Each structure stands twice: as structure tokens, then as C-alpha cells.
Amino acid sequence: MIFIAVSAQAQIDTTLLRRTPADTSKRKMNMDAIYSRPTLQAGKFPVSLGGYVEANYQHLGTDGISEGHQFQFRRLTLFVSSTISSRIKFLSEIEFEPADKEISIEFAAVDVEFHPLFNLRGGMIVNPIGAFNQNHDGPKWEFTDRPISTEKMLPATWSNAGFGVYGKYYQNKWLFGYELYLTSGFDNTIIENEFNRTYLPAAKANTERFEESNNGEPLITGKVAVKNTGIGELGLSYMGGIYNKYQDDGLRLDDKRRVDVFAVDMNTSIKRTGTTFIGEYAWIFVNVPQTYSQQFGNKQHGGFLDIVQPILKNNLLGWRNAVLNLACRLEYVDYNVGRFKETGGNIGDEIWSVMPAVSFRPNPQTVFRLNYRIQKQRDIFANPAINTAGFSFGISTYF
Amino acid sequence: MNKNHFAAIALFLLLITIIISCQKFEPAAPAEDSILDGPVENLTSAQNLQHLAGDVGFNDQVFTAATGLGPVFVATSCGSCHAGDGKGHPFTTLTRFGKNDSLGRNEFDHGPQLQERAIPGYAPEKLPEGTSFAKFMPPINTGLGFIELVSEDDILAMAVGNVNNPDGVRGHPNWALLPTYIKIRPNSKNQGNRYITRFGKKASTYNLLHQTILAYNQDMGIASSFDPSDVFTLLDTDPEISDKIIRDLVFYLQTLKTPIQRDQHNSDVIRGKDLFVQIGCESCHKQTLKTGVSPVLALDNKNFHPYTDLLVHDMGPGLDDGYTEGSAKTSEWRTAPLWGLGLAPKSQGGQFFLLHDGRARSIDEAIRMHGGEALVIKNRYNALQENEKQKVIKFLNSL
């Protein structure tokens, strides 16, 4: 929708390169995140370009062993979008992560709009599980790291080949949105990996999923969300399917085993103080063979809550409308929920983190952030926690 | 310069200060005497490199079906069972079953060790019905290089020294058959084709290479050039681990430091130690042993304090599980080294699981379960006043 508006404006614009600011209209929900980004457009050229970059400095230590000074160039992401004809648009997001020597297409889909309540999307899509997976752009967050639960429990950024439908309905202050996709999905690596735990992100390494599903079974992802423009947004999402290769060449190899993920996400702000709360929590259920090892749990859950408090909104350091925020992120993940068969005792494998932060936004598209992480992690036997703490400083901006 | 520039410079300076003082904001190292992991002192840099390479093999190398795990197995990495080089947990306890004949062959094809877990698609082994078996709790992995260097003469001398022990303490080295890949030390004592073995709960392995190859093969189903047999088919297969990693890992084990005693100067600890010696515990739990010649400076001709005699002793019917190894009879167990005992709960999930199978849930219980050759001395412990017992326990906890 915004792209139609953008090209309509382009007709009368005389400057060659024009900046379309991020659409911050109240009609946007998390599901619109991929489209509501600031982009650059050249005259009448129907293609918009955009992107963001994220770089950090980090100094973390674990139980007396410091990593020292770490300079990290996390990623450069490019968006290319175009309105191909009325009601048909295309958007792609290409990510360069030099540390992984990886150039990956995160998103590349064609949308066909029939009705606000009914649109088709096909291509490489980002599965809408929780809100972070779709709404992960670095400059949107006050923290240099992605939440642990979204990156180390859920597989952000998790995208797959597939197609589906989505739509939105609004009336007065209320918005309702839904999304439903069939895509390729997970594989055995979620319980057979070198992380020594059930680990959905392990499936990201299998790029064959873009060409051929490992077991011919679809992964179903669905999400519903409601938003009240005065209160906030609440999303409920589900993603699930059979993950394992239970047959090959028509021969049976194993039982069919499912992975099911449920997530709740929300964001809200207190008008009077300007405090924003963004949170997400997810539950994962994996059918792990009884005769395999409890090292690989059949249940996980975890989430995060970001609290962001603007403390100065002013002309700061020569930037008009600059904002200085105080923020804090609370995180928890239990990678292995359950009890040992041998003892009936609790299985550990848990992580907690508290991360106070100061962030400075000279403009809404750019953020400088200073974080201090305090993290505790317990092994599978719930032995005394390993402590990690330290500073990170980073910049992230759309361009 | 205006106010803003000053502010910018001040901010920048603040950041630099934080960065320079970063390490102060990171968690301090735990006291050296509170952790087991870590190398002996004064390794050369080449030795440090090899120790670190072995550390990766021990702690970080997690096997999966793709890298050779199983198909039947007990655990996925050395570190899973020996967390932080400490004692294990019932979850990682091994089961061994069946009778071994004079040629070291088990009565069952798939004996003696049970692989009770399997990768997806495979069935794990089941304990043959009606057979006797013993469970083995993973022991502490510290100071192993020192133990490996105790001379066979010294071991034999400790056995000879017990011949007329008035309390009935006897004990003998385990004489066992060796696999062909073991290079026998020059002047190694033998009884026919049997040699003195010293590692393991029944002291049934010759050296750390022997223990390591068995662990790869029997605990994880990893075939090596040393022992290429597959645990599932029992046929030889391709090596699933390189000789280099095995050599590095053995070096890592050899260069692990010894546990450091805590509270040595506490008067209760001193009194407890006196009582420990007085009532005769040291007849088996020998405080001081010495190493022979080693190219590693820290191991070369050193006294060390493991509180074991490396002999197997008849511990009475209570600890007789009906399972033999080498020349150790069913009721015979190697004197458990007591060093690091107080740190056991740090790797056992905050609890004690003592004796060979973890059946004793406290130090006191472990002592009260002594029988056989230790009966007289155990009774002396039982006859101590309660506060004296507490001192003995306090001493053991300081180790």
C-alpha cells in the first residue's frame, strides 16, 4: 500500500533521489515490518532501494576470561522493492554477514493484492513466528544483540521457500491481521547437532531447503494479531510440521516426528511517560525419540521483554528531534524443560540475561547504543552458573 | 565550539574510559581452588597449544550421526559426562554387564558395555535378562598425568606393604589383558600376557590412551584407527576421529592440574585429617604418591596427593555387583582417589553421587557403605564421636 502511495508521489517529485521515510502510520502492524522501511527512490524509477548496517564494539568476559576488545561488523542488509504493476509488488532483502562469509536472501517475495483482507504472497518468505523474526532490523532495537530466545532458541532470521495468504482488517482504532503460509521446513539437525541440545537454528545451515524439502512435508506457519492504536499490539503465532526425514526412496527410516512452536508477542506503550514495552515468549515442542538422549530436550521455552524509556527528546548535539533512551532487556530461555529419567531431578540448560542500555537516536533511522550485559547460564545438570558480563557499543542505521 | 560539541566530546571521552576499564566490569575468575579444569603450571607454549587443542576435543567436540555418533551410544561428547572435568551424574552413568572370561571376552557379543541410547531410526541395546551388571559413575578427571606416571614398582610395593595389615586391608593391582594398540612401557611388569592396569573404577585400563580409545568406542560409538570396530555391527569400519585429535586429547588429560585443597589451615580440617590417618583410612587412600620421569616439567618426579593406592580392594558383599574386569573380582574396586571430593557437587548438580555407581548421597554414607577389607576401619569411623566424624567429613570436603 505504501508503495503505491510512494510511486504516486514520485510523479510530482522533481529531485532525483528522494527519501521515503519509514512509514510510521498507526495502521502498521508487526506483519508490515518488512514493507515499512525507509527507502530511497530515483525519480520515476519504479524501484526503491534501502538497507541497514550494524557494527559493534564488544568487550565481554566469562568467569574471569575476557574476550578482550572485539570489533564486529555484524551485517549489511539491502532491500530492493518495486511495484511491478498495480497490486503486484516485489520486495527482497539480501543480507551480507561477513563473519559467516554469507550472502543470503532473507526475503524475496511477490505479493498480489486482491483485497486488504486477502493477499497472496509467494517466494522466499520470513515465517511469522513471534514478532522478532519478521521485525528484526537492527536500527529498530536499542540493543546490539538479537534476543537470545529469538536467535538461539527460535531460528531468527528464519526464512523458507513457500507461499501463503495474509490480510488485514481495520475499524476505528482496531486492526486485525492474519498470515498463513506453507513453506519448507526443519530437518533432523534440530536434534542432531553440535550444540548438544535441541536447537532449531541448526536447520538454518541447510540451504537445500530452498530447493528441496528434506521430507516433502510442509511447515505451516500462522499468525493472528490485533492492535489497538491507543494500546498496542498482541500477536499469537504457530509454526509446526514434521521435521525428520522419515523415508527415503520410498523406504521407511523412522517414525514421523513433529516440531510445534507457539509464540505470543506484544508491544505497548504508556502514553503519559512514553515508556515502551516489547516482548515475546515462545514454547517449542519436539518429538524426540524416546531411545535418543535427554541431552536433546523435547520442550523449550523462552522470551524477552524490552523496556524503553525516552529521557530526552530535543535538539541534541545539533540533531533536531534527537532522542536519548534508557532501556533494559530481560531474557530467559530454558533449552531443556523436563526431568531426568534417572533421578526425576530438574534438567537445567537455562540462560538468564539482564541488559541495561542507553541509546541515542539522532533520528528515527539511526541508533547508537551502549549495553551492559549480565548473563548467567547453567548446564544440563544445573551446576553453578557460568557468569558472563560486559559492555557492547554499536551503531545501526538504515540508509 | 558550542555547548553541543563539548557534550559530544565529553560523551566520546566517557565511552573511551568505559572501554579502557572494561575488564573491571566483567565477572571475576572463580578462585583457582574452586575449579578442576585447567592445565598444570609451567607448560611451554607448544604444550599449551596442544593442551588447548585437546581441550577442544574433550569439551567442544560433540558427535552427531553425521560425524559418527553411535549408531548406539551413551553420550555425545567426553565433556557431557565429565562436565568441568568433574564427577558425573546418574544421567551419564555407564552400565556394564555379563561375565568376562580369562581371555577378556564377554559372554555376550555386545558386552560388556551397554549402549542404551541410539540415534533416530536405530534401536538401542537392552540389558540381557537375568545377567548381573554394574553401573559406573563418571569419575573426576584431574591430575591424570600424575597417576599415569606412578611407577609399577611403587604400586606393587603398596600391595606388598599390606600383606600383614592388622586391620585386614589387602589389595592388589589389577592384572589385565591389553588391546594390541597399546604400546607397553619399557620394563612393564607382567604376569604372562597380563599387565598392571590403573584407570577406571576397577583399575582396568593401562594408560590414558587406552581409556580414551575405549571411551570413544564404547561411550560414543566412535571408531578410530586404534579400535576400528563399530559398536553396532561389531565389524571394522572407517575411523571417525583423527589420530591427531586423539593424541592432543590424551595430552590434555595428561596435563590437567591436580585439585587444590581448600581450608588446609582450618583447625577442624587439620583435626579431621589426623583422625583420617589415625583410624586407618590411609591404608588404602594413600595421601602421597610420586611420579617418574616426564618431559613435562610439572609432572617430572613430583609428589602429589590423590588419596589412592591404585589397587583394587574387596569391599564386601554390599558393593559386590557381580561384575568383573581384568583380575578385579566382583567385589573389588579401585580405591577412589579422594582429591577434589569437596567439589563433586559443583559438577553433580549440587548433590553427591559417590562410590562407583553414585549410590552414596553423602560423604558419610559413602564411608558407611565400606565393607570387606575396609570393615574394621569403617567400624572405627562409626565409633567416632559425632563431632569427630564431622571433622573427618570437613577434611574430606576440603580436598
Mean pLDDT in residue range A373-396 = 93
Taking chain A, what is the end-to-end CA distance rounded to the nearest angstrom?
21
Looking at the predicted structure, is the pLDDT value of residue B168 above 90?
A: yes
At A190 the three-state DSSP class reads helix
Chain A nearest CA to B119, separation (Å): 6
3-state secondary structure labels for all residues of chain B: CCHHHHHHHHHHHHHHHHHHCHHHHCCCCCCHHHCCCCECCCCCHHHHHHHHHHHHHHHHCCCCHHHCCCCEECCCCHHHHCHHHCCCCHHHCEEEECCECCCCCECCCCCCECCCEECCCCCCCCCCCCCCEEEECCCCCCCHHHHHCECHHHHHHHHHHCCCCCCCCCCECEEEECCCCCCCCCCCCEECCEEEECECCCCCECCHHHHHHHHHHHHHCCCCCCCCECCCCCCECCCCCCHHHHHHHHHHHHCECCCCCCCCCCHHHHHHHHHHHHCCHHHCCCCCEEECCCCCHHHCCCEECCCCCCCEEECCHHHCCCCCECCECCCEEECCCCCCHHHHHHHCCCCCCECCCCCECCHHHHHHCCCHHHHHHHHHHHHCCHHHHHHHHHHHHHC
A146-185 pLDDT tens trace: 999 999 999 988 989 999 999 999 888 999 999 999 999 9
Judge whether A244 is closer than 8 Å to chain B, CB to CB.
yes
Chain A nearest CA to B66, separation (Å): 8
Q: Where are the alpha helices (DSSP H) in A100-150?
A: 148
pLDDT computed for residue A156 by the predictor: 84
Chain A from 252 to 311: CB within 8 A of any B CB: 253-254, 257, 289, 291-295
pTM of the model: 0.91
Looking at the predicted structure, is the pLDDT value of residue A336 above 80?
A: yes
Which chain A positions have a beta carbon within 8 Å of B62's beta carbon? 193-196
Judge whether B14 is closer than 8 Å to chain A, CB to CB.
no
In terms of CA atoms, which chain B residue is nearest residue A392?
B19
Looking at the predicted structure, is the pLDDT value of residue A278 above 90?
A: yes
Chain A nearest CA to B336, separation (Å): 23
Report, at the CATH architecture level, how domain A17-398 is classified.
Beta Barrel (2.40)
Looking at the predicted structure, is the pLDDT value of residue B374 above 80?
A: yes
Looking at the predicted structure, is the pLDDT value of residue A7 above 50?
A: no
Q: What is the ipTM of this complex?
A: 0.89
Is B91 in Cβ contact with A340 (below 8 Å)?
yes
Choice among A209-218, B27-36, B44-53, B329-338 with the minimum mean pLDDT: A209-218
Judge whether A188 is closer than 8 Å to chain B, CB to CB.
yes
pLDDT computed for residue B301 by the predictor: 95
pLDDT computed for residue B111 by the predictor: 83
CA distance A94 to A91: 10
pLDDT computed for residue A36 by the predictor: 72
Closest among B132, B101, B102 to B114, alpha carbons compared: B132
Confidence of residue B375 (pLDDT cuts 50, 70, 90): very high
Average pLDDT, chain B: 93
Looking at the predicted structure, is the pLDDT value of residue A40 above 80?
A: no
Q: Measure CB to CB from residue B124 to each of A60, A291, A342 and give the nearest one.
A: A291
Is B93 in Cβ contact with A60 (below 8 Å)?
no
3-state secondary structure labels for all residues of A12-24: CCCCCEEEECCCC
pLDDT computed for residue A100 by the predictor: 74
pLDDT computed for residue A3 by the predictor: 33
Is A193 in Cβ contact with B27 (below 8 Å)?
no
| Per-residue DSSP letter, A392 | E
pLDDT computed for residue A1 by the predictor: 30
Judge whether A344 is closer than 8 Å to chain B, CB to CB.
no
Chain B from 53 to 72: CB within 8 A of any A CB: 61-62, 64-67, 69
Share of residues in chain A with pLDDT > 90 (%): 55
Distances (CA, A) of B361 to A372, B358, B366, B369: 40, 7, 7, 11
Is A193 in Cβ contact with B90 (below 8 Å)?
no
Mutate to test the interface with B, among A69, A186, A192, A258 (most CBs of B within 10 A): A192
Looking at the predicted structure, is the pLDDT value of residue B1 above 60?
A: no
Is A393 in Cβ contact with B26 (below 8 Å)?
no
State how far Cα B76 lies from the chain centre.
18
B198-248 pLDDT tens trace: 999 999 999 999 999 999 999 999 999 999 999 999 999 999 999 999 999
Omega before residue B112 within 30° of 0, cis: yes
Q: Measure CB to CB from residue B26 to each of A61, A188, A253 and give the nearest one.
A: A61
Mean pLDDT in residue range B43-72 = 95
B282-341 pLDDT tens trace: 999 999 999 999 999 999 999 999 999 999 999 999 999 999 999 999 999 999 999 999
Is A63 in Cβ contact with B27 (below 8 Å)?
yes
pLDDT computed for residue A11 by the predictor: 36
Chain B nearest CA to A255, separation (Å): 8
pLDDT computed for residue A121 by the predictor: 94
Q: Contact, A3 vs A89, CB < 8 A? A: yes
A46-76 pLDDT tens trace: 788 888 999 988 888 888 888 888 888 888 9
Looking at the predicted structure, is the pLDDT value of residue A316 above 50?
A: yes
Domain definitions of chain A by residue range: 17-398
Is B22 in Cβ contact with A59 (below 8 Å)?
yes
A229-266 pLDDT tens trace: 889 999 999 999 999 988 888 888 889 999 999 999 99
Looking at the predicted structure, is the pLDDT value of residue B388 above 80?
A: yes
Looking at the predicted structure, is the pLDDT value of residue B356 above 70?
A: yes
pLDDT computed for residue B236 by the predictor: 94
Confidence of residue B20 (pLDDT cuts 50, 70, 90): low
